[in-house]
């Protein structure tokens, strides 16, 4: 599966939502997650994200994000249509430590 990592937090560009053929993105206040059981591993979302927040879970150190995606995909609503990114999205692009600072 692919997973959304902390680089999405407060950026939420939503370009990923448009391209997913199986609509497996789920939306929280600050970020999106992928439902690992629904993702078909097509990989088209990865290069679409301006924040480079999407990675295959086969990359090193993705356990934490896989766990987070798995948990919140069950709790958050499905999102199938993208909207505008937050106004301050660019200010948070590439920022370090976003999970610790903003995720609750
Ligand atoms: Fe959707 Fe493909 Fe990305 Fe999985 S890898 S979330 S199926 S676009
Ligand atoms: Fe987040 Fe990137 Fe999608 S910032 S909302 S994973 S396009």
Exposure string over 32-43, b if 16+ CB within 10 A, otherwise e = bbbbbeebeeee
- Does the pLDDT of residue 101 top 70, yes or no? yes
Strands, DSSP E only, in the chain?
A: 2-4, 25-27, 32-34, 54-56
Global confidence as pTM: 0.97
ipTM reported for the complex, 2 dp: 0.98
CA–centroid distance, residue 101 to ligand 2 (Å)? 18
Question: Where do the structural domains in the chain lie, given as residue ranges?
Answer: 2-82
Smallest CA separation from ligand 2 atom 2, residue: 49
Residue 104 confidence class, pLDDT cut points 50, 70, 90: low
Q: What residues does ligand 2 touch, defined as CB less than 6 Å away?
A: 4, 8, 11-16, 32, 49, 51, 53-54
Region 2-82: CATH code: 3.30.70.20
Mean pLDDT of 53-69: 96
């Amino acid at each position: 599966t692919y997973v959304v990592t902390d680089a999405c937090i407060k950026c939420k560009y939503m370009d990923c939502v448009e391209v997913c053929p199986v609509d497996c993105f789920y939306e929280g206040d600050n970020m999106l997650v992928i439902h690992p059981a629904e993702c078909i591993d097509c990989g088209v979302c990865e290069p679409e994200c301006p924040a480079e927040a999407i990675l295959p879970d086969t990359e090193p150190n993705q356990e934490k994000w896989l766990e987070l995606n798995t948990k919140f995909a069950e709790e958050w609503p499905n999102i199938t249509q993208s909207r505008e990114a937050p106004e301050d999205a660019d200010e948070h692009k590439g920022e370090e430590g976003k999970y610790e600072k903003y995720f609750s």
